[in-house]
């Protein structure tokens, strides 16, 4: 076996700290992890080493005996702009951290730190440097990440969705997009339209749960003058407006049964009659639908027509919730940071790795939509160029969820002993419904808005849980 020499080790790290014990601990930790290590006892000694050698990464204490660690940072960046610098200190304030990161530091690690925490930050930093050396490949990867319209993500499940979009976009096959609220189902539908031959024709979005039941048939198919009270003129419907394009039926599970019958005829014959009309209207449309419900269960329960379900569900695209695609969290957070920084005219370019770690511990029940809202608020309220953990505009209940404080509903340590997931989810649903009704003073419409539900869905949930309203 050939013994590895110093030159065979993967990266060269310079440790700059005026405390002997800290230098010894860091040197031992880093060598055991396979890094080449050089130590400097002062800022002046570090500057001399930087003139002679090139290092991949510097670990610099913010407070040194002979100079400020920020001076070492600036000198290192001046000498070698590619070097990665991580600041460490027991005295770092948010202001000091921002100054360091504005001067080019990759991140800061407060003392005391865990070995795993420090090694993780170093590993991420060096991985970032390796990627930056392959910029052209990174650009290709970025195009793949945001490949369809505004869809962000390149985890395996999203890449599978991109493949499905490519396969079916050029056809007129009906597609059913399923997934929880806030996962981006409309973006998938828009991407299918943009990748199709109908891209230059209308893309009409219909929220089936947002139109009153008494008006939905007229909105979809139009009506003739005098067909009902208030119909003082002929009016075309949304299906007619989508002629030669794509119609996207969001929340298809909310469609009333009598309208489902009429939609089935459109799917079969591509014709329909306006409300009060006698003539068939022919349309050339591609139909994409979406649901956050289990439509198969709705069929079994009699709330959705079986024949319509199979007509709509020729190809199903299942969009994963954000908690199942955490690998995309950093991409998404950075995307929204850039978006709202531009919109608000702020020079924010980076999210601290500690802020990302905090976000990654939260499961985002509202999915990508909730993350976007959080990032928009955080950008609006932040006074720094770097988004730090303290800058995240997270509500108290979210932070408590992350910290796991005194809430048995989120006590994951109980899982080995066996838990009832249905009971846990029911408790959570009941708690949120009661809180929303309390805040709204019993106003169901306002409570529905607070919970991002339509009124019909709220009523169903209240009745199911027998909550007094």
CATH number at residue 425: 1.10.10
Residue 189 in domain: yes
352 with 280, same domain?
no
Residue finishing a domain among 359, 382, 403: 403
Q: How many other C-beta atoms lie within 10 A of the C-beta of residue 81?
A: 8
Calpha distance 64→42 (Å, rounded): 6
Give the separation between CA 321 and CA 430, rounded to whole angstroms: 21
CA separation for the pair 392, 49 (Å, rounded): 38
Domain with 440, as residue range(s), is 414-464
Give percent helix, percent strand, percent coil of the chain, each to the nearest 5.
Answer: 50, 15, 35
291 three-class SS: strand
Same domain? For 299 and 250 the reply is: yes
- Does 329 share its domain with 207? no
* Average pLDDT score over residue span 245-250: 95
Alpha-carbon gap, residue 230 to 1, rounded angstroms:
90
Cβ pair 181, 452 in contact under 8 A: yes
Alpha carbon 287 to chain centroid, angstroms = 26
The domain that contains 116 carries what CATH number?
3.40.50.2300
> Are residues 385 and 455 both part of a single domain?
no
Q: Residue 139 — φ and ψ, nearest 5°?
A: -60, -40
Give residue-wise pLDDT tens across range 7-33. 445 789 999 998 899 899 999 999 999
Handedness of CA 230, 232, 234, 235 (dihedral sign): negative
What is the domain count for the chain? 4
What's the gap between Cα 99 and its chain centre?
Answer: 29
Which range among 97-106, 432-441, 444-453 shows the weakest confidence by mean pLDDT? Answer: 97-106
Is there a single domain that holds both residue 218 and residue 354?
no
Q: Indicate whether 307 and 391 sit together in one domain.
A: no
Q: Are residues 118 and 41 in the same domain?
A: yes
User: Does any domain span residue 228?
Assistant: yes
Residue 409 lies in a domain: no
Q: Are 112 and 104 in contact (CB under 8 A)?
A: no
Q: What's the length of the chain? A: 469
User: In whole numbers, what is the pLDDT of the chain averaged over residues?
Assistant: 84
Residue 251 pLDDT: 93
The last residue of one of the domains, among 286, 318, 350, is 318
Tell which residue, 231, 321, 333, 320, has the closest CA to residue 275: 231
Instruction: Indicate if 312 and 175 belong to the same structural domain.
Output: yes
Checking if the pLDDT of 142 tops 80, the result is no
The two counts, helices (H) then strands (E), for the chain are 20, 14
- Residue 362 belongs to some domain of the structure: yes
Of 281, 302, 318, the domain-final residue: 318
Neighbours of 57 (CB within 10 A): 20
204 lies in a domain? yes
CATH number, domain at 191?
3.40.50.300
What confidence tens digit (pLDDT) does each residue in 54-73 have?
Answer: 888 999 988 887 788 888 88
Q: In the predicted model, what is the mean pLDDT of residues 438-455?
A: 85
Query: Is 339 found in the same domain as 422?
Result: no
420 burial class (0-12, 13-18, 19+ CB within 10 angstroms)? Answer: exposed
Q: Could you tell me the CATH number of the domain that includes residue 348?
A: 1.10.8.60
Neighbours of 371 (CB within 10 A): 21
pLDDT of residue 461: 83
Query: Does 148 map to a domain?
Result: no
Q: Are 297 and 372 members of one domain? A: no
101 and 229 both lie in a single domain: no
Token code pair at residue 33: 């992890």
* Cα–Cα distance for residue pair 176/248, rounded to 1 Å: 10
Q: What is the pLDDT of residues 380-417, one digit of tens each?
A: 988 888 888 777 877 655 665 565 533 444 556 567 66
- In a domain, residue 238? The reply is yes
Q: Is the domain of 163 the same as that of 306? A: yes
Average the pLDDT over 251-263 and give the result.
91
For the beta carbon of residue 141, count every other beta carbon within 10 angstroms: 12
Q: In what order do the strands lie in the sheet with 203-207?
A: 203-207, 246-250, 286-291, 175-178, 315-318
> 142 in a domain, yes or no?
no
């Amino acid at each position: 076996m050939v013994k590895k020499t110093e030159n065979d080790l993967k990266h060269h790290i310079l440790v700059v700290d005026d405390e002997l014990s800290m230098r010894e601990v860091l040197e031992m930790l880093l060598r055991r992890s396979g890094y080449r290590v050089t130590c400097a006892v002062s800022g002046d000694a570090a500057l001399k080493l930087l003139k002679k050698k090139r290092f991949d990464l510097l670990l610099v204490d913010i407070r040194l005996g002979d100079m400020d660690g920020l001076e070492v940072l600036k000198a290192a960046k001046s000498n070698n702009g590619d070097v990665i610098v991580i600041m460490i200190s027991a005295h770092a304030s948010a202001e000091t951290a921002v100054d360091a990161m504005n001067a080019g530091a990759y991140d800061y690690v407060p003392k005391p730190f865990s070995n795993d925490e420090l090694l993780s930050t170093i590993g991420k930093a060096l991985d970032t440097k390796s990627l930056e050396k392959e910029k052209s490949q990174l650009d290709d990867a970025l195009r793949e990440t945001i490949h369809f319209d505004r869809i962000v993500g390149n985890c395996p499940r999203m890449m599978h969705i991109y493949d499905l979009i490519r396969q079916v976009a050029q056809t007129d096959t009906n597609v059913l997009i399923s997934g929880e609220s806030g996962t981006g189902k409309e973006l998938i539908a828009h991407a299918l339209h943009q990748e199709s031959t109908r891209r230059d024709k209308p893309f009409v979005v219909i929220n089936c749960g947002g139109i009153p039941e008494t008006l939905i048939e007229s909105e979809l198919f139009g009506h003739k003058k005098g067909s009902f009270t208030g119909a003082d003129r002929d009016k075309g419907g949304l299906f007619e407006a989508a002629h030669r394009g794509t119609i996207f039926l969001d929340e298809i599970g909310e469609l009333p049964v009598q309208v489902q019958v009429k939609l089935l005829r459109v799917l079969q014959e591509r014709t329909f009659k306006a409300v009060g009309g006698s003539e068939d209207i022919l349309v050339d449309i591609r139909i994409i639908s979406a649901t956050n419900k289990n439509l198969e269960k709705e069929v079994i329960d009699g709330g959705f027509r079986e024949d319509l379900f199979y007509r709509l569900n020729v190809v199903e695209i299942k969009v994963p919730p954000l908690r199942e695609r955490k690998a995309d969290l950093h991409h998404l957070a950075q995307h929204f940071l850039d978006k709202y920084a531009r919109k608000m005219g702020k020079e924010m370019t980076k999210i601290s790795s500690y802020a990302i770690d905090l976000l990654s511990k939260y499961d985002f029940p509202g999915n990508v939509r909730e993350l976007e809202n959080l990032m928009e608020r955080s950008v609006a309220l932040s006074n720094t160029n770097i988004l730090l953990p303290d800058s995240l505009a997270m509500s108290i209940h979210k932070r408590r969820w992350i910290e796991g404080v005194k809430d048995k509903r989120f006590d994951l340590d109980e899982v080995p002993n066996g838990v009832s997931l249905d009971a846990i989810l029911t408790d959570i649903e009941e708690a949120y419904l009661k809180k929303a009704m309390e805040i709204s003073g019993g106003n169901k419409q306002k409570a529905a808005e607070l919970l991002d539900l339509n009124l019909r869905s709220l009523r169903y949930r209240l009745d199911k849980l027998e909550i007094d309203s």
